Amino acid sequence: MQRCASIHLITYFKTSLISLVFVVFSTAIAGSYDDFFTAIQRDNALGITALIQRGFDPNTIDTQLRHGLILALADSALNAADALLEAPGIDVNFLNAQDESPLMFAALNGQLALAKKLIAKDADVNKTGWTPLHYAATNGHLEIIRLLLDNNAFVDAESPNGTTPLMMAAQYGTGAAVKLLLDQGAQATQKNIQGLSALDFAERASRPDAIRLLKPVAIKPAQPSARW
């Protein structure tokens, strides 16, 4: 009887200890989770590095399924992005719910140094659907356009509706971006699913600089792209 009671007591203490360890561990993980995303928000590279060195997963996503690296790039938290890119096992090709990659955000925001680091870590320059080149062309970031093309980006890549980087540059980018893409072999005669060409995009947006560049080549027959 006494032996039975002792066994029950030992079992109780073991169970209690395991429960206590679990609670402490869970609390620590929860605290690290909050600290991680706070550090990204505050562009705190040292805080991020310290968490990762303690074993925190740099690929952790937040409650809205957003990857930390994408959050850092989208918010121009450049120190945080640098720290994450140094983390072992960082997923540089994570795609968010909108099918956007870290390199696409770097391209959109003109973050040249980070774009170079992403490519050096094997970030995908080409992908199905919208691509980093579309995003770079949208804001006319010439150096990133050159970087992507130098790394074999498809100059006439098509979005889901057939829109090309040249069309995005014609409507939203700059005349210099339109010229660069044309010089690199982009096809001015190509049309999207709606039957619109880059010239149509430029005219719709009243972009005289793009119209001036595109009109002379818009009636020429399409030639195979030099960048494919």
Model confidence at 7: pLDDT above 50:
no
Q: For residues 100 and 90, what is the distance between their CA atoms, to the nearest angstrom?
A: 16
Residues 210, 133 share a domain: yes
Residue 34 included in any domain: yes
Q: What is the number of other CB atoms lying within 10 angstroms of the CB of residue 157? A: 26
Shared-domain flag, residues 210 and 141: yes
Q: Report yes or no on 130 lying in a domain.
A: yes
Is the pLDDT at 12 greater than 50, yes or no?
Answer: no
147/226 same-domain check: yes
Residue 226 has pLDDT above 50, yes or no: no
Query: For the CA atoms of 222, 226, 227, 228, what is the dihedral angle to 10 degrees?
Result: 70
The last residue of a domain, from among 71, 94, 117: 94
d(CA 133, CA 146): 9
Note whether 132 and 80 are same-domain residues: no
Looking at the fold, whether 3 and 84 belong to one and the same domain comes out as yes
Domain final residue, candidates 79, 94, 109: 94
Distance from C-alpha of 126 to C-alpha of 114, rounded to nearest angstrom: 17
Looking at the predicted structure, is the pLDDT value of residue 46 above 60?
yes
Number of domains composing the chain? 2
Q: How far is CA 218 from CA 39, 186, 190, 210, in A?
A: 49, 11, 9, 11
Q: Poorest-confidence range of 3-7, 151-155, 190-194?
A: 3-7
Tell me if 167 is assigned to some domain.
Answer: yes
Question: Is residue 11 included in any domain, yes or no?
Answer: yes
> What SS3 state is found at 163?
coil
Whether residue 81 sits in one domain with residue 174? no
**pLDDT above 70 covers what percent of the chain?**
82
- State whether residue 67 is helix, strand or coil: strand
pLDDT tens by residue, 49-77: 999 999 999 999 999 999 999 999 999 99
The verdict on 70 and 1 lying in the same domain is yes
pLDDT tens-digit readout, 147-179:
999 999 999 999 999 999 999 999 999 999 999
Number of H helices, E strands in the chain: 12, 0
Phi and psi angles of residue 197, each rounded to the nearest 5 degrees, phi first: -100, 175
Tokens of 49: 């590095």
Does 228 share its domain with 133? yes
Q: CA–CA separation, 94 vs 99, rounded Å?
A: 9
Same domain, yes or no, for 159 and 227?
yes
Q: What was the pLDDT predicted at 106? A: 98
Same domain, 73 and 160: no
Q: Which domain holds residue 29?
A: 1-94
CATH of the domain at 166: 1.25.40.20
Regarding whether 83 and 136 lie in a shared domain, the answer is no
Averaged over 90-105, what is the pLDDT? 97
Flag whether 183 is in a domain.
yes
Helix (H) / strand (E) containing 78: helix 78-85
| Amino acid type, 226 | A
| Assigned domain for 58 exists | yes
Q: Choose between 28 and 48: higher pLDDT.
A: 48
109 in a domain, yes or no?
no
Residues 43 and 140 in one domain: no
Whether 24 maps to a domain, the answer reads: yes
